[in-house]
Chains A and B, each alone.
Chain A
């Protein structure tokens, strides 16, 4: 019975606070919790930027300026290591990806049921506290990066990209062979080439978004499991030895998982950033003849 309640509780905590424009169309809804939290983070970041801008010093930096310069230096170095050409957009893009994802992931440090209970005070029954647990956010960022990659591919080497899209991996059949039958085979294989290349290209944003979403979603589920299995039951039964032991174990395991999950959040932000830079770097690489 208690297990059924806990399972129901976890499932309930994995529901979004959403608003539907058209109940018959599942696409026509918006996750208000994701939008609220990302907007708050964006506003917080912009406010912080404005505040820091007014406090910048030319001399030796201290405090928060020193920390932010370290972050910028790290991102600049990462971009410099991966890019053979200079593109002023890449470093700010990488910085935004890293900082934004890191801040979103950091919300996971809040106790598992806290935001849900706070939302309950305002009459809301569902509220997700980590925006990166919503596939829409990682997918939006990954698709934005993917569109940028396509833009640079078409802009910098349109012929080469089209050739790769239509002829790889069987380009030799059409281009190198002098046998008309083999050439015809090369033409016939163009749809297959296109399919393979499209799968390869679409795998990039898919893997990018699902990696972040999967890690953060799994982390949240484990938090909820730790809380529901070790803490919720023990809170009701703190008078017994078993309840106290269960509660202590819950706190210990929860703390351990929090620390580990913070590291995972940092790692995922870095992975998302570095892969975006690498994909863009590949798009900028000159054609080898």
Chain B
């Protein structure tokens, strides 16, 4: 796309601006209106912080020749989805087990172990 002429033209956002300049404005500035699709604004703020960390880490990691972020759930959305699914399944299973236990022993527990309470 060609840049339409405007004044003054020695610098255009498209030419001089880096990614940080653009993100800083479209992500952090501009009018904040709650749309129908609710994105928690805190998420976006956290995201900028996290992004800085990611980029900084990637840089550092490259120096050290490692690529742990690919599978780190805090840094990769895919890894996190996998991680979440796994964690969810695990938690459900544990909850089910606890519920079973609870039904079996819950009503009498207080009376059968009075020492533990004190």
Q: Do A and B bind each other?
A: no
